[in-house]
Amino acid sequence: MKKLYFLTGTQPLYGPETLQEVADQSLEMVQYLNSKTCDEVEIVHVKPVADPDSIYKAIRQAEDDEDCIGTITWMHTFSPAKMWIKGLKILRKPMLHLHTQFHESLPFDTIDMDYMNLNQSAHGDREFGFICTRLGVKRETVVGYYKSERVINKINKFMDVARGVAFSNNLSVAMFGNNMREVAVTGGDRLESQIQFGWRVNYYAIGDLTTIMEELTEEEIKNKISEYQEKYIVPEDTMPQVYEDARFEAAMDKFLEQEDVGAFTDTFQDLYGLKQLPGLAAQNLMDKGVGFGPEGDFKSAALGAVLYEIARLRDGGTGFMEDYTYDLNEGKEFVMGSHMLEVPPAFASDKPVVEVHPLGIGGKADPARLKFKPVEGDALQICLIDLGDRFRLIAAEVELINPHKETPKLPVASLYWKIKPDFETGVKAWLEAGAGHHSVLTTALDLDDIRSFAKFTNTELIEIY
């Protein structure tokens, strides 16, 4: 179980009775929040901290606890903020500053100085906010009564991002082959990506995988085919090619577990020992949260896995996408997104069907892939690039549309979208920001989630909306 440490700030001046009330009320608050927030994360109530030493120790413990993904801080009373400096200087995990109050309404008839002493987050949280800003502490600030649905929703969103940041820090990415020759945007500083995002990006030979493929039993391959048949429509005449994807994916399942890998890249320029580029297999792996980047694009692979994890408990889909071609009718322009095979079935509005067609690239056998009709609605397109001296995220709000046209000669699934605020402005901004043709598309996350992820990973973010 993941944990968030709940730190209630106070000071010794108020005497033991008031401090006991601070402890009781913050515990009640934590219990309420636990009953309303994500089941995968437990908010752990820490005894209220009233001096520099207890603050430092509580933050030290949060940092040392492997299961702890961050902290929630709240100043029930005033808590002089110089006491927080030593502790905040070692804080690295994401923090949510919960600016709330134990009571919703002001008790006009009974309010006295005791009440004022106890309920002064309006006062104490300003002192705390100041020292965080002075120290450059990255945090999400959530403002309002703690029982309000809006506040609970924001705490849940923070929990998702905090889980995602913890996931990112432990993510291992396998590159089968290297980047597609001569391509610029899929490259980048792998070492720096580990320093900034925690991604261990390592090279593997495709032979590391084909060796596992050769050792598979027929039963293991059959089980994978059954998995496909449960999720997708698999016509009988596609079976020989589906068999090859099943071999690839059954071997990948073993490889991912063995090497503790959560995302991978492949490239059509390195398919030694494979009969074809994996299409169906890559699509099905993405559907289960394994990050995927084609043409050696490790940044899209890793970002896909991380954003999937942030979105995992929500409705909607998240996966790899590529800007491919346009409809440029003035004023009604839209993008058609697709890839040579690997379009995530998370964006299907009907049951995907396996089809087999030739692939004009890679010089291998005809591969299987899933085709389907696309979903419609709000989505976000996110791209990560390496500018040489820093990474940059670009996030664009888009609207997925369905032009309700058949594409009988197109052998792959495709999506259609309008970028905001309008085609000219949005695409111009995308190009001038340097965002590439590979991205992660999600119908489960919004700009606030990406802002939060960018903040906690110290990443520059360009927003297009």
* 54-83 residues near Mn ion, rule: CB under 5 A: none
Instruction: Compute CA distances 295 → 71, 202, 283, whole Å.
Output: 39, 15, 15
CB of 403 to Mn ion, least distance (A): 22
How big is the site for Mn ion, counted in residues (CB under 5 A)?
A: 2
Q: Name the residue nearer to Mn ion (CB basis): 152 or 384.
A: 384
Which of 68, 302 has the CB closer to Mn ion? 302
Q: Which is nearer to Mn ion, 279 or 294 (CB)?
A: 294
Pairwise CA distance, residues 390 & 52, whole Å: 36
Taking phi over 0 as left and psi of -120 to 50 as alpha, with beta for the rest, 316 belongs to left
| Cβ atoms 203, 175 nearer than 8 A | yes
Give the Cα separation of 291 and 263 in Å (integer). 4
Please classify residue 137 by burial: count the beta carbons closer than 10 Å to its beta carbon, then call 0-12 exposed, 13-18 middle and 19+ buried. Answer: middle
When the beta carbons of 238 and 338 are compared against Mn ion, the nearer one is 338
294 vs 352, which CB is nearer to Mn ion? 294
**Smallest distance, Å, CB 332 to Mn ion?**
26
- C-beta closer to Mn ion: residue 294 or 304: 294
Interacting positions 425-464 with Mn ion (CB under 5 A): none
Q: What is the nearest approach in angstroms of Mn ion to the Cβ of residue 180?
A: 8
Please state the closest distance from residue 322 (CB atom) to Mn ion, in A.
5
φ/ψ bin of 377: left (φ > 0), alpha (ψ from -120 to 50), beta (otherwise): left
> Looking at 126-134, 286-294, 328-336, 399-407, which segment touches Mn ion (CB under 5 A)?
286-294
Rounded to a whole number of angstroms, the minimum distance from the CB of residue 324 to Mn ion is 9
CA distance 216 to 68: 38
CB of 26 or CB of 265, closer to Mn ion? 265
For the CB of residue 320, give the shortest distance to Mn ion in the complex, in Å: 9
Distance in Å, CB of 297 to Mn ion, minimum: 7
> How crowded is the C-beta side of 434, counted as CA atoms within 13 Å?
15
Closest distance to Mn ion from the beta carbon of 282 (Å): 12
435 touches 397 (CB < 8 A): no
Options 137-145, 223-231, 247-255, 288-296: segment touching Mn ion (CB under 5 A) = 288-296
- Indicate the residue among 125 and 322 with the shorter CB distance to Mn ion: 322
Binding mask 291-330 toward Mn ion (x if CB under 5 A, else -) reads ---x---------------------------x--------
Q: How would you classify residue 95: left for phi > 0, otherwise alpha for psi between -120 and 50, otherwise beta? A: beta
Q: How far is CA 113 from CA 14, 118, 128, in A?
A: 12, 9, 22
The residues with which 394 forms a beta bridge, in sequence order, are: 383, 462
Q: Comparing C-alpha atoms, which of 249, 248, 319 is closest to residue 289?
A: 319
| Contact characters 215-254, Mn ion, x per CB under 5 A | ----------------------------------------
| 124 versus 345: smaller Cβ distance to Mn ion | 345
Q: Where are the alpha helices (DSSP H) in 10-135?
A: 16-36, 52-64, 85-88, 113-118, 121-135
Q: From 90-98, 195-203, 239-247, 287-295, give the range in contact with Mn ion by CB under 5 A.
A: 287-295
- What's the closest the beta carbon of residue 250 comes to Mn ion, in angstroms? 25
Binding site residues, Mn ion, CB under 5 A: 294, 322
